[in-house]
Structure 1
């Protein structure tokens, strides 16, 4: 009987391991936020900002998680077909671990989760993740560049330069074959299979690449615009500085010095980015910027938790 009970519990843990990991991550976040700030204090700050702006921004940020998930769903169609909600839960766990763990250690969870849940080889999912991160970084700069264009004296020239930067990944894609061929000629034959898995993680054709690129641009344009709007609503000026703050906060999360949950580093990134784009670093304007950066960071944390809870609620039982 004991053996049967242990086996039953073991099978239950295996079936529900993703849900348990998700719930654990959410619980850790809730305890962490209560320990650092206290939930009553946070609720009072959000009420001062306004319920409608906060809920609207939160809904848009959660929507970006669906865009990210669909990008992966479209990238691995054979492995993920008909399992979008399960993939959503995987991507949300990966996102939470990325936010929670320092030094980008959470990135390692993506290839492991994709292998365990969808049988995607590690090399293939790792190469796909690397490409997506490069597209993320490009799209992040492109979205923040809107702030520079808005503050530029010559709008036509500004939009022209921005457009050229926006489409630059399309030109790099066509160099993929030459680069892989160069590496293949210099690799030992034993590593040929590894190179094949890496190449399998890259877009097979320009159509697949363009779809991934467009979804990346949509995702980061939405997120940066929402964060810039939140900062502007809270009184940060000028508008270009709000886009710079959104860029600085997101860039801080990809640096090796990224703190767990971005505590300290994310608000500092917002502040530094906003000042670099023209915000005042003196007096009451700086105090306002500092408090706004903390509130924007809390909104990011809450959206990550809300997205994970939603993915758990929507994910079907297996």
Structure 2
């Protein structure tokens, strides 16, 4: 009997290991924050900002989720037509899982949800997700490049290189036909059939690609601007460091390795980004930056939960 009970507990732990790992990391992180600063100190920062600015920042962050959803809605017009709110729920569940699960394990939920809700083949939705993540990275690196160009002495060359980097996705997209044709000739027949599904997950033409890219730029520029404003409101100086901190935090969230719920990695990304853009690396200013980075991370988590709850309310499951 004991052996059966032990086996059952082990089996439960194996099935729910991701959840257990995520909850353990969150609890440990909460205890660490309490030990270093104390949660009342962090909440006092929000009280000093005021209710209206906090709600405004939260509303703008939730608004970016609608932009992300529209990007996918426009990307799969046939499958999602007339079901925007259902798609919003799918994208929000995927976003929340992506935040809460470690090592980007939540990404696997997107193709599964798209197949169950909209009958989109796994290969096609996975291909679309990969392209969107590449566009996300490109938009963030392009935003970071602005700061690097401004810091250069030879700004003319810097802006030229930045402009070439900015339009590079469109150039690669225009070459996709020849590259896919080459792969189609070289791959075995079975992989060739899979490549057809992968190609179906790419934009049908340059106009669709440009719209997806513009939605990506709008989404990330809004999110980075809001986070930079929040950091500046909390007293992080100079403002360039607030911009760098927002970029650092978001870069940590889209890279392959991140902690459950981003605990530790997201605030570390904010801190590293802010220091690289001129924030002090020691003293009271550094302590302020560290606590502000934790609060900015809390705002991201709250906005993700609020966006998910809103999507569920707007589009309840049948």
Pairwise TM-score range, normalised by the shorter structure = 0.7 to 0.9
* Structure 2 residue 269 is matched with structure 1 residue 249: no
Aligned to 1:14: none
Q: d(CA) in 1 for partners of 2:233 and 2:280? A: 16
Mean CA deviation greater in 194-203 or 273-282: 273-282
Match of 1:183 in 2: 183
Report the counterpart of residue 92 of structure 1 in structure 2. Answer: 92
For residues 286 and 43 of structure 1, the distance between their equivalents in structure 2, rounded to whole angstroms, comes to 18
Structure 1 alignment gaps of length 5 or more: 1-23
Equivalent position of 2:299 in the other structure: 299
| Deviation at residue 289 of structure 1 after TM alignment | 0.8
TM-score between the two structures when normalised by the length of structure 2 = 0.84
TM-score (norm 1): 0.84
What are the Cα deviations for residues 144-177 of structure 1, in whole angstroms up to 9, with x where unaligned?
Answer: 3333345455666655543332222111111101
Instruction: Tell me what 1:72 maps to.
Output: 72
Task: Kindly tell me the number of residue pairs found equivalent between the two proteins.
Answer: 291
Q: Secondary structure at the match of 2:139?
A: helix
Residue 192 of structure 1 is matched in structure 2 by 192
Q: Could you tell me how far apart the structure 1 residues matched to 2:78 and 2:54 are?
A: 38
* 2:29–2:263 CA contact under 8 A, matched in 1: no
In structure 2, what is the Cα distance between the partners aligned to 1:250 and 1:212?
19
Q: Is 1:217–2:227 an aligned residue pair? A: no
Residues 1:166 and 2:159 are matched in the alignment: no
Change (3 A) 1:214 1:114: same
Superposed CA RMSD in Å reads: 2.5
Residues 1:141 and 1:105: Cα distance change in structure 2 (over 3 Å): same
Question: Hey, what's the Cα distance between the residues in 2 that align with 1:119 and 1:92?
Answer: 18
Equivalents in 2 of 1:230, 1:304: separation in Å? 16
Alpha-carbon separation, structure 2, partners of 1:234 and 1:35: 20
Q: Hey, what's the Cα distance between the residues in 2 that align with 1:99 and 1:234?
A: 24
Question: Residue 231 of structure 2 contacts residue 292 of structure 2 at CA under 8 Å; is this kept in 1?
Answer: yes
Give the 5 Å matches for 1:212-291. Answer: 212-291=212-291
1:117-136 aligned at under 5 Å gives the runs: 117-136=117-136
